[in-house]
Amino acid sequence: MAIDRGRLSIADHAVDFFPGYRPIANLDERKGAITVRDLLTMRTGLDWSEGVYPGSPPQQLNDCRCDWLRFILDWPMCDMAKIGQLVLDGGRWRGTQIVSESWIRESTQPRLPSVQSFGAYGAAYGYLWWALPRGIITASGAQGQWIFVIPSMSLVVVVTGESDANFLSGPDLLYNHVLPAVRLG
């Protein structure tokens, strides 16, 4: 009804609806960019797992006896892009060497050539990292989660919020949409 009446757009930034909750913890450009569309499609990028385990986000939420909206608004964003950036920067995070550059090089080198394909894209395997065509380093996870590191473009792309049923949408999105758009830009 709010959309039909022009009071809400799915492109609106979610945090703008909660001025009374400022300051919001962990507010950065990523959290500020979350849209109503992201909320509706469960693609916020919050570091949230629905898993059932001691200390899980749902358990913390249920046990907090607090303002649930504040709890969610203050929740931190995910570490996936940070991991990709760490690899892109040779093991450095904001200028500090976290993982040795030699280990980053070694772990991302193809060890098992052509052992897998992600749709039309052949992949070799290193140590927990896949090597894709065009020098792209990737990590793939459950539910269609992807980290793509593209050193030639100094670019990290993260895909979240998919499912195993649509697992290959990550590489397809990267090769068919993101890379052509970056080259044109």
- Which pLDDT belongs to residue 116? 78
Among residues 109, 145, 105, which one has the least CA distance to residue 125?
109
Tokens 């100094």 locate to 154
136-141 sheet: strands from edge to edge: 112-118, 121-125, 130-132, 136-141, 145-150, 155-159
Of the candidate CATH numbers 3.30.1200.10, 3.40.50.970, 3.40.710.10, 3.30.70.980, the domain formed by 80-184 belongs to 3.40.710.10
How far apart are alpha carbons 176 and 13 in whole angstroms? 27
**Which three-class secondary structure state does DSSP give residue 136?**
strand
Q: Look at residue 164 in the predicted model and tell me its pLDDT.
A: 59
User: What is the pLDDT at residue 79?
Assistant: 76
Whole-number Cα distances in Å, 85 to 38, 79, 159: 23, 10, 14
What are the φ/ψ torsions at residue 15 (nearest 5 degrees)?
Answer: -65, -20
Query: What's the average model confidence in pLDDT over 16-34?
Result: 93
Q: What pLDDT is stored for residue 88 in this prediction? A: 97
Would you mind telling me the total number of residues written for the chain in this entry?
Answer: 185
Average pLDDT over the chain reads 88
Confidence of residue 45 (pLDDT cuts 50, 70, 90): confident
pLDDT digits (tens, 9 = 90+) for 90-116: 999 889 999 999 999 999 999 888 777
The arithmetic mean of pLDDT across residues 115-133, rounded, is 88
> pLDDT for 159-181, tens place per residue?
876 555 666 788 988 999 999 99
Over range 63-72, report the average pLDDT. Answer: 93
CA 83 – CA 80 distance, rounded (Å): 5
What is the pTM assigned to this prediction? 0.66
Domain assignments of the chain as residue spans, ordered by start: 14-74, 80-184
